[in-house]
Amino acid sequence: MPKVILITGTSTGLGVATAVQAAQAGHTVYATMRNTQKRDTLDAAAKVAGVTLNVLQLDVQDAASVNAAVDTVIAEQGRIDVLINNAGMGYVRSLEQAEESDIQKILDINYTGVARCIKAVMPHMRKARAGHVINISSVGGLVGQPFNEIYCGAKFAVEGLTEAMASYITPAFGIHFTAVEPGGIASEFANTVLEQVEQTGGMLEDEYLPILQKYISSSQNRQETGIYQSADEVAAIVMKVMGSEQPPVRARTSEWSEDFSKLKTGLDPDGLKQQSLVAEQFLK
């Protein structure tokens, strides 16, 4: 059955690929972005694929904007079957070096923005006793990584949000929650680390510099060896998760991300055992 899907952050990369693949599968897709003047990449991809997308403005940092987008979808379709929280922002800087305004921004976009969107769709999904919230997380939400403590902290929070809501909302109201955990997306990682460093003040001449240089070199090596996936490959995993009869609470998107996080996830790869254990401990 075709679904009504709301996706955030669809101006580039994974957001574009997911919106297009969902439309190709016959679903009604509302592709949103903070600035709709930056829709050229999305429109071009939709044209090549021969699909139609409904493009809306949605700024995850603005509750009024989020609510307006959700209200539009409900007014036009009467329901939202799937919310895909894809909007996000990377940040490469040690905590000691980080500006407090940057910390607040990263947390607001990557965590609070996710919560805002879920909060907006929940009344409609709860009324329908159905729905699926897919949060694009990261292996950085499972395993902390150098110079990513701000970003990883936000993604760890998304993982906790996903698990906590799945523990009681899924059995009570039939709404599923999944955190999708890519290990890296090639289209978005070429030069991204260097760009993020430059955007936050560039290379600082301090004791962190030699460590940062090792991190940047390692990131570039992983890019060159093909460890990172294409946006289309990750989007295909999102589509698979969305079509699952029993959606996982968490899903890695590649062999590398699975292997990298196995010490955290090996006993319960999809998170469903932990979900049941939490319910047994707290809801019986």
pLDDT digits (tens, 9 = 90+) for 236-258: 999 999 999 999 999 999 999 99
What is the average per-residue pLDDT within 155-166? 98
120: left (phi over 0), alpha (psi -120 to 50) or beta: alpha
240: left (phi over 0), alpha (psi -120 to 50) or beta: alpha
pLDDT at residue 191 in the model: 52
Residue 284 pLDDT > 80:
no
Determine the 3-state secondary structure of 32 from DSSP.
strand
pLDDT at residue 192 in the model: 65
Compute the distance between CA of residue 104 and CA of residue 265 in angstroms, rounded to an integer: 29
pLDDT at residue 222 in the model: 75
**Is 2 buried (19+), middle (13-18) or exposed (0-12) by CB count in 10 A?**
exposed
Answer with the residue of higher pLDDT: 227 or 89. Answer: 89
What is the average per-residue pLDDT within 93-121? 97
Class for the domain spanning 4-187+230-282: alpha beta
Is residue 228 very low, low, confident or very high in pLDDT (cuts 50, 70, 90)? confident
pLDDT at residue 283 in the model: 86
Residue 88 pLDDT > 70:
yes
Compute the distance between CA of residue 254 and CA of residue 88 in angstroms, rounded to an integer: 20
CA 157 to chain centre: 12
**For 54-75, how does the pLDDT look when each residue is reduced to its tens digit (9 = 90+)?**
999 999 999 999 999 999 999 9
Q: What is the mean pLDDT of the chain?
A: 93
Backbone angles phi, psi at 4, to 5 degrees: -100, 120
Q: Which residues are designated catalytic? A: 151
Q: What is the dihedral of CA 242, 245, 249, 254, to 10 degrees?
A: -60
Backbone angles phi, psi at 191, to 5 degrees: 70, 5
Residue 278 pLDDT > 80:
yes
Compute the distance between CA of residue 118 and CA of residue 116 in angstroms, rounded to an integer: 6
Give the percent of the chain with pLDDT over 70.
95
Residue 190 pLDDT > 50:
no
Query: What is the model's pTM?
Result: 0.94
pLDDT at residue 194 in the model: 65
DSSP state for residue 229 in the 8-state scheme: B
User: In whole angstroms, how far apart are CA 18 and each of 6, 107, 161, 202?
Assistant: 11, 24, 22, 32
Retrieve residue 13's tokens: 């990369």
Is residue 155 very low, low, confident or very high in pLDDT (cuts 50, 70, 90)? very high
CA terminus-to-terminus distance, the chain? 34
- Residue showing tokens 């150098």: 146
pLDDT at residue 279 in the model: 87
